[in-house]
Amino acid sequence: MEITAPTSHLSLPFFDAAHRELGARLAAWAPRQKVDESEDRRACRQWVRLLGDHGWLRYCVPAAFGGALEKLDSRALVILRETLAFHSPLADFAFAMQGLGSGAITLAGTPEQQAGYLGAVARGEKIAAFALSEPEAGSDVGAMAMTATFETATGGADTVVLNGSKTWISNGGIADYYCVFAKTEAALGTRGITAFIVDAATAGLDSSEHIAVMAPHPLATLQFNNCRIPASAQLGSLNGGFKLAMQTLDIFRASVAGAALGMARRALHEAVAYARQRKMFGQLLSDFQLTQAKLGEMAALLDAAALLTYRAAWLRDCVGTATAAQAQTYSAQAAMAKMAATENAQRVIDMALQMHGGLGVKVGTKVESLYRDIRSLRIYEGATEVQQIIIGKFCLKGQP
Ligand code: COS
């Protein structure tokens, strides 16, 4: 039986008619796609191809470069991720990484860089990746050790030489290019980082070290060994890389919340369906007040997170981030959304699993895979603790 993602939340005033149409169209399309997900890298490539062929990746880039909408629309990103994650967390991953891996080019790329990469990302012809984290620099981005050194050749073009390593890189090993952040001024911490676009085939870049994780998806450690790229591959301003990384993450953090909502909605759907048919002690599981109370708690946790998520996305789309105060408010609200949605989703999924009893831990059941799928969302793109710090700093500025 085909399971379709719910769309009733799209009637909330945060959304307009185009969002409702998008959500309904995707909810009808997603359950009909059949991808063998037993091998994560092959499956991810297949999802990128499918999402590209059917136009969904066009929401990852602006219209000037083949995108569906004039600019990146946070509410569309949230709806897309929520709906895809309801059906397949790997499909959501494939979609999200095309956006995260091209976001810095959308925000700060030269016209040549935008023309060279964004259309191909939107068609699913180039797989994108965002390379920020290092073995000793995860949450503490300013501690990164990877270096980028400019060399001026006599009579030739300037070259940048990259040395160091990146880790936990989603799409590592299958990406066609990486947006890489490296130190251009070692002593300047967050103020000494610059971004570069590095094509995967560049000599001196090794992406072969695959990292196996509990919910398999393409993930690798990258080694840069005297990796030489043209100076024209610099992305954004010199030493402006930290802010560019944060601005990129700001857009996609609200969409991580969307993905968490999709997984939580699926868990609630599974719990309700199971409670309605499972018999015990002479009645249905759904007849027990204990079950009803749990379902009530799950639904409220989900809706609380959904409202924060849609508010953050609406704020970015409709109020904007043009002034410093608007940008800070948006950062804090996106952080609240990511924190609440991923933490609440973990609880909702855990409750759904508990309701399934032994079946909940049987490999291959939907709640079992959701339990593994949700865990990394509380860590990647800024762990819950990082979101708490962002929100806390905002409160201390007197803007709760
Ligand atoms: N947009 C624009 N500028 C921002 C910004 C944002 N969202 N956040 C911070 N900045 C600016 C600050 O205004 C500050 O500017 P000045 O140097 O001009 O004063 C600068 O960046 C440094 O900011 P801050 O002092 O807050 O940096 P910290 O080193 O304290 O880092 C955290 C703050 C922890 C919040 C940040 O490093 C972070 O988000 N870490 C998590 C990284 C992450 O998500 N990793 C996962 C990688 S992708 S899977």
- One domain for residues 317 and 331: yes
For residue range 187-241, what is the model confidence (pLDDT) as tens digits?
999 999 999 999 999 999 999 999 999 999 999 999 999 999 999 999 999 999 9
Residue with the smallest CA separation from ligand 1 atom 19 is 191
Question: So what's the pLDDT on residue 132?
Answer: 98
297 and 387 part of one domain: yes
Domain tally for the chain?
A: 3
Q: Residue 2 domain-assigned?
A: no
Instruction: Check which CATH number belongs to the domain holding 292 and give it.
Output: 1.20.140.10
Residue 152: pLDDT band (50, 70, 90) is: confident
Q: Which of 123, 152, 184 is the last residue of a domain?
A: 123
291 lines ligand 1 (CB under 6 A): no
Whether residue 1 lies inside any domain: the answer is: no
So what's the pLDDT on residue 193?
98
Q: Per-residue pLDDT tens for 279-333?
A: 999 999 999 999 999 999 999 999 999 999 999 999 999 999 899 999 999 999 9
Same domain, 79 and 98: yes
Same domain, 135 and 114: no
Whether residues 279 and 354 share a domain: the answer is yes
Write the CB contacts of 117 (distance below 8 Å, at least 6 apart in sequence): 102, 105, 109, 126, 128, 177, 197
The pLDDT score that the predictor gives to residue 156 is: 66
Whole-number pLDDT of residue 1? 73
- Using one digit for the tens of pLDDT, what is the confidence trace for 41-71? 999 999 999 999 999 999 999 999 999 999 9
Pocket test of ligand 1: the residue of 243, 342, 377, 379 to mutate, having most ligand atoms within 8 Å of its CB, is 243
Task: Tell me: pLDDT of 364 over 60.
Answer: yes
State yes or no: pLDDT of 400 exceeds 60: no
57 and 199, same domain (yes or no) = no
Looking at 239, 266, 300, which one is the last position of a domain?
A: 239
Instruction: Tell whether 165 is covered by a domain.
Output: yes
- 108 & 181 share domain: no
pTM value surpassing 0.85: yes
Residue nearest to atom 7 of ligand 1 (CA): 246
Is there a domain that residue 64 lies in?
A: yes
pLDDT at 399: 67
Environment class of 108 (CB within 10 Å of its CB; exposed 0-12, middle 13-18, buried 19+): buried
Instruction: Give pLDDT, residue 398.
Output: 81
Q: Which pLDDT band holds residue 155 (cuts at 50, 70, 90)?
A: low
107 C-beta closer than 6 A to ligand 1 = no
CB of 369 closer than 6 angstroms to any ligand 1 atom:
no
Give yes or no: residues 219 and 196 share one domain: yes
For helices 89-108 and 74-87, angle between their N-to-C axes, nearest 10 degrees = 160
Same domain as 341, residue 200: no
Closest atom of ligand 1 to 393 CA is 26
Do 74 and 142 share a structural domain?
no
Q: Are residues 109 and 144 in the same domain?
A: no
* Domain co-membership, 113 together with 170: no
List the CATH number of the domain containing 228.
2.40.110.10
381 is catalytic: yes
- At residue 387, the pLDDT reads 96
**CATH number for position 22:** 1.10.540.10
Going by the DSSP 8-state scheme, the letter that residue 134 receives in this structure is B
Strand 177-183 to 128-131 pairing: parallel
Nearest protein CA to atom 10 of ligand 1, as residue: 243
Mean pLDDT estimate for the chain = 96
Domain boundary among 239, 256, 276: 239
Q: Tell me which residue range forms the domain holding 213.
A: 130-239
Whether 224 contacts 163, CB under 8 Å:
yes
Q: What is the mean pLDDT of residues 112-137?
A: 97
